[in-house]
Structure 1
Amino acid sequence: MAAGSQEVQNLFKGLPTQNHGSAWEQLWTTSLTPWDRSGPSPPLADLLSSRPDLFPLPRGGEEGRRRTALVPGCGRGHDVLLLASFGYDAVGLDLAETAIREARANEEAAAADETRYPLAEGVVERGRVTWVAGDFFSDAFLREAGVDSFDIIFDYTFSCALPMSLRPKWAARMSRLLSPAATGRLVILQFPNGKSLSLPGPPWGVNSDMYLALLSRPGEEIPCDDDGNVPGADRIERTADGLRRLELIVPTRTHTIGVAADGTITDRVSVWSH
C-alpha cells in the first residue's frame, strides 16, 4: 500500500457519500495525496503516439471543430497537460479547489520548461487547457468549460475513488459525456486492477468484468458475489446507450504503483466508444 493510503481509507471509513467532497479537499489542503504520480500516465502517452487507428491526432480541427478531452479527478493535471501536448483542448476537473490551484501552478511550471510536455510529433498546435473546480455529476462544469461532450475522456484514479454505490451513476455520466462520434474514446487506466470490489477504499478495487458490466448498461446496478466478483459480465447485453469495449491492453509501461514486486504489470488499459 502506498504511503498515506491507510490514512485516506481511515478518513473515508463510514463517511456518507455526500461528505466525500470535503474529505478530498481536506486531503489536498494537508498535502496527503498518495495517488499523485508526479507526472503523466505512460500508457496514455503510448496509446496516443502509437495507435492512430484509435486516436487520430487533432491536426487543425475536424470539420472546423477543435477536438476536446476531459480528465475528471485531474489532481495536479499531469494528464491534462499531456493531452494538450497532443493537440486536444483539455479540461481538467476536480472536486477539490486546492487541487485545481495546484494544477494551475503545475501548468505554469511546465510552461517554463519546454522539455516536460513537448508538442507531440505531427501536432501543429498545442491545445487549450481549462481548469474547473466542480462536480463531475453536475452540468455546471460543462457550462464553465464551454464544452458539451468530449472526444477523449481519461479515467485514472477517478472511478477507483468512487465506492460501488456510485459507479452505476459514473457509468451513465461517462456515456452522456463521451462524444457519440465514431472517434469518441473513453480510456481507463484500470487501477488498482484486481483488488477485490468488496475491500475498503479509496482506492476501491476495480476489474475488467466490473467495467464491462457497468459500461454495457450505464446507470444499472451490477450483480456481485460475496467476494465482489461480477459473474457473467461477458454475456451482458449492451443497452442503446451502452459503451463498447474496443481494446483491453496490458501496457508495456505504467506507473510504479501498477507493477508487482516481480515486475509483472498489474494495470490494464481499456478503450471504449459508443
Structure 2
Amino acid sequence: MNGPTISFWQARFEQGQTPWDRGGPSPQLEAWEAQHALPAAGARVAVPGCGSGWDVAAWAERGYDVVGIDYAPAAVARTRELLLERRLSASVIEADVLRWQPAAALDAVYEQTCLCALHPDHWVAYAEALHRWLRPGGRLYALFMQARRAQADEGRIDGPPYHCDITAMRALFPEPRWAWPKPPYARVAHPAGWFELAVVLERRQSASRDATPGSPPGA
C-alpha cells in the first residue's frame, strides 16, 4: 500500500505528533451552519478519518446521527474519550475507509483531512466509496487541502498532507455524478500554514446505468 500505514498514524497519535489538530472542530462547520447549508437535525452523517474526534463531537452536539471512522486505534480511543467527556452520543468505528460500508445510505459525509491523508493512488477508490455511502441527493461537505509544494514542479508527490488541487478534485468527483457549486470557494486557514477550499457537493440521482469517473453521460 502506497502512502502512510496504520502504524504510521498510530505512532503519530501515541507520540502526540498531530500538527494538523486544531484542538477543536473546523470553523467551516459553523460557517455552513450559519449559511443554513447543513442537513436537517437527525440526518445520518459520517466523518471518515475522524482523528481526535473534534468534528464528530461537533456534529453530535448539533443533533446528528454521527459515525466516526478511523483505522488507527489511538484515534478511535481519543474520539470515544472526547464523546464520553462531553456526554455525547455517536458511533465510532475502527475500520479502513476504503473497505467500510454503512448499513444504510447516509445523508451526508464530512470530508476533512481524510482525502489529503491518503496517498493519491487510493483517491479513486475513496471517491467511489463516498459515492456508495451517500444516498442520491446526499451531500459531501468537503474541505480540500491546498498544500502545494515546490517539488510538484518536478512531478513529485509529497505528503501527507497531499495537495488536493481543485482541478484534480473536479476529475475525482465529476459531473454528472456530483453537482458542483460555482466558485469562488471559501478559504479555510489551516494550523500548519496551508489552507482548505470548502465545497459542498451533492450526489446526483443515479441513472439507469450510473456513470463512472471519466465516462460521458449515458455511457
Q: What's the TM-score once normalised by structure 2's chain length? A: 0.80
Give the Cα separation in 2 of the matches to 1:167 and 1:252: 22
Cα deviation, residue 163, structure 1: 1.2
Measure, in 2, the Cα distance between the counterparts of 1:159 and 1:187: 12
Measure the CA separation in 1 of the matches of 2:143 and 2:114: 10
Offset at residue 45 of structure 1 (A): 1.7
Aligned to 1:251: 186
2-side partners of 1:250 and 1:152: how far apart?
Answer: 19
Corresponding residue for residue 202 of structure 2: 273
Match of 2:99 among 138, 156, 166: 138
1:89 aligns with 2:65: yes
Aligned residue among 13, 35, 42 for 1:51:
35
2:172 maps to which residue? 214
Deviation at 1:72, TM superposition (A): 0.5
**For the residues of structure 2 that align with 1:101 and 1:21, how far apart are their CA atoms?**
14
**8 Å Cα contact 2:187/2:198 also seen in 1:** no
Aligned twin of 1:150:
106
Runs of at least 5 residues in structure 1 that lack an aligned partner in the other structure:
1-15, 59-65, 112-125, 217-237, 260-265
Match of 1:172 in 2: 128
- State the distance in 2 between where 1:210 and 1:129 align: 33
Q: Deviation of residue 209 (structure 1)?
A: 0.9
1:191–1:268 Cα contact (<8 Å) kept: yes
SS of 1:40's equivalent in the other structure is coil
1:162 aligns with 2:118: yes
> Number of residue pairs matched?
199
Q: Is the 8 A contact 1:248 1:268 kept in 2?
A: no
Shift of 1:158: 0.7
Contact 1:43 1:254 (C-alpha < 8 Å) held by counterparts: no
1:256 Cα deviation after fit: 3.6
Specify the code of the residue in structure 1 equivalent to 2:99.
Answer: S
**Following TM superposition, by how much is the alpha carbon of 1:148 offset from its aligned partner in structure 2, in angstroms?**
2.1
Q: Radius of gyration: which is bigger?
A: 1
| 1:26 to partner: Cα distance | 2.3
Q: Is 1:26 aligned to residue 11 of structure 2?
A: yes
Q: Which has the higher strand share?
A: 2
Alignment of 1:213-232 (within 5 A): 213-216=171-174
Confirm or deny: 8 A CA contact 1:187 1:269 kept in the other structure: yes
The residue type paired with residue 144 of structure 2 is Q
Letter in 2 for 1:73: G
Does residue 205 (structure 1) correspond to residue 146 (structure 2)? The answer is no
Amino acid at match of 1:244: A
Instruction: Give how far 1:102 is off.
Output: 0.9
Q: Structure 2 vs 1, CA of residues 68 and 153 (structure 1 numbering), >3 Å: closer, same or farther?
A: same
Unaligned runs of 5+ residues in structure 2 are 204-219
User: SS state of the match for residue 151, structure 1?
Assistant: strand
Deviation per residue, 1:97-119 (Å, 9 max, x gap): 111111111222333xxxxxxxx
Cα RMSD of the aligned pairs, angstroms, is 2.4
In 1: Cα distance, 2:171 partner to 2:17 partner: 33
Asked whether 1:190 is paired with 2:174, we answer: no
What is the one-letter code of the residue matched to 1:105?
Answer: E
What percentage of aligned pairs have identical amino acids? 27
Report the more deviating stretch, 190-199 or 93-102. 190-199
Amino acid at match of 1:29: E
Residues of 1 paired with 2:171 and 2:55: CA distance?
A: 26
Runs ≥4 residues deviating over 6 A: none
The DSSP-based 3-state class of the residue aligned with 1:268 is strand
Structure 1 residues 86 and 208, CA, compared in 2 at 3 Å: closer, same or farther? same
